[in-house]
Chains A and B, each alone.
Chain A
Amino acid sequence: MKVVIVGGGKAVYFLAKVFLSKGYQPVIIDQDGEECLRLSHQLKAMVLHGDGSRPALLEEAGAREALAVLAVTPRDQDNLVVCQLAARMFGVPRTLALVNDPENQEVFHRLGVSVAFSTTHIMATLIEQQAGLEEVVNLLPVAQGKVIVSELLLRQGLPSVGRSMQELDLPAGSLIGAVIREEAVTVPRGPDRLRDGDRVLLISTPESYGPALRCLMGKEI
């Protein structure tokens, strides 16, 4: 099970290690000769030195039989070309690209990259939505951030505690998918009331996330 990784640095080293531990066979392509040498000493993986956006090098790395290609260089244009060549010339079923300009995430999807992720976007979302809110236990962007699933801890005194689903008046585009009370999980219905200590699974669009939090936790976001 081959996975081709294009790029260098610590992230690539750890990615390759994770893949190795899971039984995959990572192949790394990197432009920096010294980095390649270091990686090849540290990892039981094939390391190729050169430009991963050259068809010949992708082929040498075994793109034809690869399960996935990951392009994680600091340059968006290189990551795009690597993914497109991998998918279209060598039929790689899954391509993943790092994007630096968050706007390129959407662009990459339109241009055929299976998964485009932006660390800038992820960090910004985390800071924006989680800062100062320790009751937000977990936050997970789904479908490229179009849906947010978050886990909230309810405490006495919050506006939602003691109220039923019907009385909550959650904004459109948000709903409570599950309530975790002690060890039991229930999907709440209209008359069910929230209690102190409940963990609530909130599913919402990014736009209604703030209003829904205000409704449940009474905080300004």
Chain B
Amino acid sequence: MSKTLFIVVVGCGRLGSLLANGLSGQGHSVVVIDQREEAFAELSTEFSGFKVVGDAVESETLRKARTADADCLIAAAEEDNVNLMVAQVAKEVFGVKRVIARVAEPARELAYRQFDIETVSPTSLAGERVLTALTRGPREDR
């Protein structure tokens, strides 16, 4: 990502705050949305973006975060269904070009990937990594 992007991050939990801090650090403009004000404590002191308190499932909250102007939205809330809904609303209603949703349950993730929603499943990713590590056997240097 060379040019500066405007990115909306939904959810300021472990994943959301990690992404918001990282993207802000790379110089992008970032807006983070979370229902709980306390969640923003996870943001680093260098985070220079905006914070919006609200439920992202309400279109009003997405409007406050200027979602219609975003280049990209990352739905990284705790709940799969929040992410799936917000991703689709951002794409279909607000016209955001690039939308990525975090979906924990593999079966649900698979289904939505077929519906043309870009999804990332931490469960599947971790599972694959563990399986690969196991089949490779123990590392020799230990």
Contacts and interface: CB of A to CB of B under 8 A. Distances in A.
Interface SS majority for chain B: helix
B59 A53 contact: no
B93 A110 contact: yes
A21 to B, nearest CB: 32
Contact of A101 (B57, B108, B114): B57
Contacts of A89: 111
Interface in A76-114: 76-78, 80-81, 84-85, 88-89, 101, 103-104, 107, 110-111
B93 A85 contact: no
Interface residues of A, number: 20
Counting chain B CB atoms within 10 Å of each CB, the highest count among A81, A84, A103, A107 belongs to A81
A56 B107 contact: yes
Contacts, number: 57
Nearest to A76: B57
Interface string B82-109: 1011101100110000000000010110
A38 interface: no
A138 to B, nearest CB: 32
Nearest to B79: A77
B60 interface: yes
B105 A78 contact: no
B140 interface: no
B141 interface: no
**Interface size range of chain B in the complex:** 20 to 34
A219 interface: no
Contacts of A107: 59, 89, 92-93
Given A55-B107, A55-B111, A107-B93, A81 B59 contact: no
Contact of A77 (B60, B81, B108): B81
Nearest to A80: B85
Nearest to A57: B107
Contact of A54 (B60, B79, B86, B108): B108
A101 B111 contact: no
B82 A77 contact: yes
Interface SS majority for chain A: helix
Nearest to B61: A101
Interface string A198-220: 00000000000000000000000
Interface in B104-126: 105, 107-108, 111, 114-115
Nearest to B107: A55
Contact of A81 (B85, B92, B93): B85
27 contacts: A53-B80, A54-B107, A55-B107, A55-B108, A55-B111, A75-B81, A76-B57, A77-B81, A77-B84, A77-B86, A80-B81, A80-B84, A80-B85, A80-B88, A84-B84, A85-B108, A85-B111, A88-B111, A88-B114, A88-B115, A101-B58, A103-B59, A103-B60, A104-B58, A107-B59, A107-B89, A107-B92
Interface of B: 57-60, 79-82, 84-86, 88-89, 92-93, 105, 107-108, 111, 114-115
Given A77-B57, A85-B111, A88-B115, 12 more contacts: A53-B80, A53-B108, A54-B108, A55-B107, A77-B81, A78-B81, A81-B85, A101-B57, A104-B59, A107-B92, A110-B93, A111-B88
Interface of A: 53-56, 75-78, 80-81, 84-85, 88-89, 101, 103-104, 107, 110-111
